[in-house]
Structure 1
Amino acid sequence: MKTIIASLLLAASATATYAQKPGDSVTPETLGKLEWVKGEAPREWEPGKVYILECWATWCGPCLAAIPHVDELYDKYSEKGLRVIGVNVWEDGKDKVAEFVTKKGDGMSYPVAYTGKGGAFEKEWLTPAGVKGIPHAFVVKDGKVILATHPMQISNDVIEGLLAGGEAQEKVLTSIKEAEKKQGQIGETMQAFRAAAAKKDTAGMEKAIADLKALDETSRYVPAMNFELLVAKGDWTGVETNVKSLAGDPMGRVMVGLAAQRSVKEPQAPESFRKMISEELSKLLAEKGQPYEFQTLTQVQWSLGDKEAAKISAAKAADSAKELQKTAPRFPVTPFERYAEAVAKGELPTTEQVGEWTREAMEAAKAAEAAGETKKEG
């Protein structure tokens, strides 16, 4: 209903100020309503210049990962006509945004505006455009939105084409459109695979893998999909060969982790396979491992009846969580400590128990953070 109403309002509008989709005419009016952390709002769009309105938030990992790329584009092309505006969205608290931008310094050298939850930018840009996730970039030129995409899709070649205009601009826009269409097809193929896997429809799984290879022959998803197919077929020898063939490959660690998880979830997994996976995962974690990896190893060792080794791995999971929290303060340590305590007592917690502990820890951390903010404001 809201979508219908929004569409009617847009259609009735004398201008397309709030219709922020490719081809729509726009003005910088909304930007003038925002709170500027750095720089100021443009009063008008400069003819021929390319504007990137990059939507982000401090809590969004992918957004933070995209900032260096966006800043690099700005540094390289600002004198040639590129304008970048970082628009902080879906966040309450201008102070934390200002602090973040200050700390970034030259690493975020373009103007940045703050707009709280439910603010003007959300109502007049994000909602009309149907944006439901960030990072997201609107690209404007000569008063029109010419592109809406993930900022990592905006390469040097794209910027050069947009600045050149004419055929060069149309070429890069077509290229991005085709890439996004292909990505959509890949997503549909992955969904088809997951649906087939849920039913253990091996024929459907094989078809989805073939379809994905046709779209992207080098897809990083194929090894994991082949692994799932072999598990569905009960071909544990094939699974073992599949895992070992990726030794030294970046996907190798992922595959060992997947194999370890499946070895304890699939009752038909032979003991010899679980032993192999236990050994492989132990080797990978010998130098350094993530908390969840140690927890998975604990489960495999427990399934083999090696409870002493499981106790050691559970304790390492807790220690790893504490170490990780030093660089990621919000990472919950308590669930891993409780897990290690239970294993030490001779009990293996269920997935449901761990989930509940994690929810409790996250809620406690959120409450503590809110209390700290209130105290700070007071």
Structure 2
Amino acid sequence: MKITYASLFLAAALPAFAQKAGDTMPPDALGKLEWVQGTAPTAWEPGKVYVLECWATWCGPCIAAIPHVDELYDKYQEKGLRVIGVNVWEDGKDKVEAFVKNKGEGMSYPVAYTGKGGVFETEWLKPADVRGIPHAFIVKDGKVLLTTHPMQLTEPVIEGLLAGGDAEAKVLEEIKEAQRKREEVGKANQAFRQASMKKDTAAMDAAFSDLKKLDPANTMLPALEIDLLVAKADWAGAEAALAKLDGNPMAAMTVTSVAQAISKTPDVPESFKKSVISSFATLVEKTGHAMQYQMLAKLQWSLGEKDAAKTSAAKAVEWTKSEKGVKAGIPSAPFEKFAEALDKDELPSDEQMTTWLRESLPKQAKPAAKITPKEG
């Protein structure tokens, strides 16, 4: 979706309101919702494919998926696609109405508001064990065909579902297999992370091998490989893997992660540190952020490159005073103190920097005393 880029959940059967594929679900709950635009279906139209797309205004991935869902609706509504946006886990119909109005033709399908703890949550979300959004229920002829992330609903998928028969069966099987694979990838990734926390390189190696077999095109593999090589203290291998990152969409995150790791790892060879710092410096010059400049300064200082560190610290201060920094609300004071310490030939600890950052935050007003009304 905790908001994360959209977790995928398979439906689970429960008494009264089962949601697994093949279970029959009446549209009754939809008639009990408040409709922001459009109206509730009184019955499922035979042969039509219904996408009940669960979302909220606070959910970034939900908002990112809306244009895709709307494009599908515009293209296939005359061929039998029905889309209903169901606002869930949110209180405040006014802000939902304002959001939908602002989207205009970019959210042209019917939209319903349910509120926290509403009937849709009781009869659909909880029985299906939905724990993250965006999340789409796909219904046809009164039966739940599947549940999935709305971005998985590609044009070929919609066309297969609308066609029915063998085409529908093929699409459902492909989605089921994709979901199974994602679950296996998720388990392998979790196994790698747990092994990494325990510094169990053998378990990390096994989990990494599983991930490569399951999803050889996974963009996270280069980052995990470097984590593994660093854990093994295979510095030559890690340096070679780092050099191959150019053009990888996860390069920025990987380099940042490695830079953070070596800043806390003793006995890192100077040659590897230099490679990481060089890559990180190139990244920081492109992306530029006070925290990145400050981290770069620490790494440069650890190599004895004190003049370069002082320059990076000064750039951190400059960034906080730039338009971007002011807009982001990043305070200058902590970074000014950091730069001043370097000028005195002192490197502040992470704890000191954290204290300065905390002290620079605006003081929150104490909440008013709660008054409990008396009975009678």
3-state SS of paired residue (2:192)? helix
**CA 1:39/1:298 → structure 2, altered by over 3 Å: closer, same or farther?**
farther
Distance 1:166 1:35 in 2: 35
Shift of 1:48: 0.6
Contact 1:310/1:343, CA 8 A, preserved across alignment: no
Query: Matches of 2:93 and 2:353 in 1, distance apart?
Result: 37
Give the aligned partner of residue 372 of structure 2.
none
From the superposition, tell whether residues 39 and 358 of structure 1 become closer, same or farther in structure 2 (CA, over 3 Å): farther
Q: Which residue number in structure 1 is paired with residue 138 of structure 2?
A: 139
Other-structure match for 1:117 = 116
Separation in 1 of the partners of 2:254 and 2:129?
36
Deviation at 1:352, TM superposition (A): 9.4
User: Match for residue 323 of structure 1?
Assistant: 324
The 2-side partners of 1:352 and 1:23 are apart by: 59
**Partner residue in 2 for 1:173:** 172
Equivalent residues of 1:302, 1:310 under 8 A apart: no
Task: Give the drift of 1:295.
Answer: 4.3
SS of 1:118's equivalent in the other structure is coil
The total of aligned residue pairs comes to 347
Counterpart position of 2:47: 48
Deviation track 1:291-313 (CA, whole Å, cap 9, x = no partner) reads 55334324323434534134224
Residue aligning to 1:286: 285
What is the aligned-residue identity percentage?
A: 54
> Alpha-carbon deviations, 1:195-243, whole Å to 9, x = none?
2222222222222121111111212121111101111111223222211
CA–CA separation in structure 2 for the residues paired with 1:362 and 1:46: 56
Give how far 1:351 is off.
6.3
Aligned AA for 1:194? R
One-letter code aligned to 1:212: L
Structure 2 partner of 1:72: 71
- Check 1:190–1:166 CA distance in 2 against 1; reply closer, same or farther (3 A cut): same
TM-score of the aligned structures, taking structure 1 as reference length: 0.83
Which amino acid in the other structure matches residue 120 of structure 2?
F
User: 1:220-239 maps to which residues of 2 (within 5 A)?
Assistant: 220-239=219-238
* Partners of 1:148 and 1:277 in 2: CA distance: 43
User: Could you say if the C-alpha distance between residues 35 and 269 of structure 1 is closer, same or farther in structure 2, counting changes exceeding 3 Å?
Assistant: same
Equivalent residue in structure 2 for 1:312, among 314, 324, 327: 314
- Decide whether the 8 Å contact of 2:208 with 2:224 is kept in 1: yes
Which structure dedicates a bigger proportion of its chain to helix?
1
One-letter amino acid of the counterpart of residue 164, structure 2: G
C-alpha displacement of 1:69: 1.0
User: RMSD over aligned Cα, in angstroms?
Assistant: 2.9
Q: Which residue of 1 aligns with 2:339?
A: 344
User: What TM-score do you get using the length of structure 2 for normalisation?
Assistant: 0.83
State the structure with bigger RCO (CA 8 A, min sep 6), 1 or 2.
Answer: 2
**Consecutive unaligned residues in structure 2, runs of 5 or more:** 1-11, 342-346, 368-376
CA contact (8 A) 2:70 2:108 kept: yes
Q: Rate the CA distance shift 1:287–1:201 in 2: closer, same or farther, 3 A.
A: closer
- In structure 1, how many angstroms separate the alpha carbons of the residues matched to 2:123 and 2:164? 27
User: For residues 136 and 279 of structure 1, do their structure 2 counterparts lie closer, same or farther at Cα, with a shift above 3 Å needed?
Assistant: same
User: Which amino acid in the other structure matches residue 316 of structure 2?
Assistant: A
Work out whether 1:240 is the aligned partner of 2:239. Answer: yes
Instruction: Say whether the 8 Å CA contact 1:19–1:129 is kept in structure 2.
Output: yes
Residue number in structure 2 paired with 1:37: 36
Q: Which amino acid aligns with 2:101?
A: T
Alpha-carbon shift at residue 140 of structure 1 (Å): 0.7
CA distance in 2 between partners of 1:64 and 1:355 (Å): 36
1:317-358 C-alpha deviation (Å, 9 max, x unpaired): 5357x62785xxxx6x34x54531441342636369749967
User: Matched residue of 2:95: which SS?
Assistant: helix
CA distance in 2, matches of 1:122, 1:353: 44
- Asked if the contact 2:135/2:147 (under 8 Å) is kept, the reply is yes
Following superposition, the deviation at residue 71 of structure 1 comes to 0.8
Cα distance in 2 for partners of 1:351, 1:24 equals: 55
The residue type paired with residue 110 of structure 1 is Y
